[in-house]
Structure formats: C-alpha cells, structure tokens
Amino acid sequence: MKYSPAYFPARHALSVGFAVLLAVFVNHYFAKSGGGWVILTTFLVSQTTRGTPLRQSIIFSFLIILAILLFSFDFNLLRYQMMEVSIGAIISIICNQFIFPIHFDVEFRQSLIPILKVLKEHPQTIPPLDYPEWVYEVGFNPGLRSGFRFFLVHIDWIIELFCSMNYLLARGEQSGLFQELSELIAITQQKNQELFDILIEFFQNNNFTEIHSDFTSDIVALETATRQIIPQQLELLDISADYVTLTAFVRDMKDLRTLLLQLVMAIAPQK
C-alpha cells in the first residue's frame, strides 16, 4: 500500500467520523440519561495525538468520569452517565485500535523514503523537504520517539554536511587541488550512494541488504592523499585558502560517511 502525506490525517478523520456515527446510533436507542454522554465521550476520547492513542484514550475517559463524579448529585442519573461514558470510550478505542488502526512505523518509513531519495539523487540542490513533524508532537509514544528522532537528527546533520560540501566545492572547483583528488572523491561519493541505497531499500521494502563493500578504505585513501598535498605545518595552511577549503571538504566527507554508517548499523538485524 502506498501512503500519501494526507493518508493518516484522513484516516484519523474517518475513524472519528465513524465512531461518532456509531455513538449517535447507540445514544439514540440505548442511552437513558438524556445527556448525550455517549456521543460526547466518543468524540473527546478520539482526539488523541499520534503514537499513544490507547493511553490517551484511557486518560481522557477517566477525566470525563472524574468530572461527572464531581458535578453530578443524582445517584440514579450518575449510574446511567457512567455507563454511557464507558460505552463511548469503548467505541472510540475500538475504532482507533482495531477498525481504523494507524501503523506509525509504516508512516515513518514512508515519510523518510522521499527524503533519502532526494539526498541521494540531488545532493547539490536540496529542495524543501516534507518532514514527519508529528514525531515531535507532545505526548508522542516514548517507545517510538527516541528511535524516530535518532533518524531525523542524523538526516538533519547529513543535510547540513551536504550544504557545507556544496559551498566548499563551489569555492574550490577551480583549484588544482580538487582536480588532483577528483577520482578519490568520486569513489567516496559512489560508496555513499551505496549506503543510501541500503537505507532506501530497507525503508521501502523492509529488506536489509547485506553489506559486502569496504566503507573505510576509500576514506583512508582520500585522507592520505590530502595529507600528501597540503602542508604538514598547520601555520602554512593560511598561505592558501585552497588548503583550508580542501581540508574542510575532506573532513565533511568523512563525517558524512560516519553518519550514514551509523544509520545503516541502526537498521541492521541483530545477530
């Protein structure tokens, strides 16, 4: 199934609408308090943030029950109100959890795929990206939050590194220093593409591609070649801005590789 950015909000709206419709039916034929507590409870309990619908539904239900206990003085009416609130909460929970469930792991994976593809295919001109900002909503599932944010923070760092490298490359593209390392830089970029392919394959098809390539030797070769070009004494770096630019670019390439490897290791199956 393909998920669009509007898929989950629409599904949540459908879930709330169906739950309220069912609550109207139950309230009309079975409620005895005459206060519409089934409908009100169903609607309020359905208003949960992403990630913790069951926990928040239970909390909202208890809050409504507490409010009734504090302000209701008719015991006979209170009995019916409590029963109707419970029915409304059950209707909402069933609709959210079983009839129209939302799979947040699937939503998160689908939201990362276009971001990773853009970073792989267009690192020189990164357009505005559609981030899954719902991960940062207050009350989001703590069990999922840390893992999801780990990926988003790393992607933010990767974007910053691409912006830095694009700037440095634009400054040094006329330099003979970059020309001397062009072959090694191309090899390093190709290795990065392989890591992006592993990430995209995992998030798109839930399949982890076994790693057979060496993702360290190319970085070592690039650093070694850079040391052979730039002066060994740090104070001599200021003589040429090209030395500083090249050193910063190679450092960014190394940091980018580290971040990509961390993401790949995070999704690798535990042996």
Contact residues for 185 (Cβ-Cβ < 8 A; gap 6+): 178, 222, 253
- Given a cut of 70, the residues of the chain with pLDDT beneath it are 1-8, 49-53, 139, 174, 231-239, 271
Do 192 and 148 lie in one domain? The reply is yes
pLDDT of residue 236: 55
Evaluate whether residue 16 is within a structural domain. yes
Q: What residue type is 93 in one-letter code?
A: I
Q: Please choose, from the candidates 96, 91, 109, the residue with its C-alpha nearest in 3D space to the C-alpha of residue 37.
A: 91
112 and 88 fall within a common domain: no
Q: How many CB atoms lie under 10 A from the CB of residue 203?
A: 21
Pair of tokens at residue 4: 């669009």
For residue 146, what is the enclosing H or E element? helix 142-172
Point out the domain boundary residue: 99, 128, 146.
99
Q: Are residues 73 and 159 in the same domain?
A: no
Q: Are 16 and 43 in contact (CB under 8 A)?
A: yes
Give the residue among 90, 110, 91 at the shortest CA–CA distance from 102: 110
Structural domain of 58: 7-99
Do 262 and 131 reside in the same domain of the chain?
Answer: yes
* Identity at 40, one-letter amino acid code: L
Instruction: Judge contact between 115 and 151, C-beta under 8 A.
Output: no
Number of domains in the chain: 2
What is the CB neighbour count within 10 angstroms for residue 34? 11
With respect to residue 1, please indicate whether it lies within any of the assigned structural domains: no
**Residue that terminates a domain, selected from 45, 78, 99:** 99
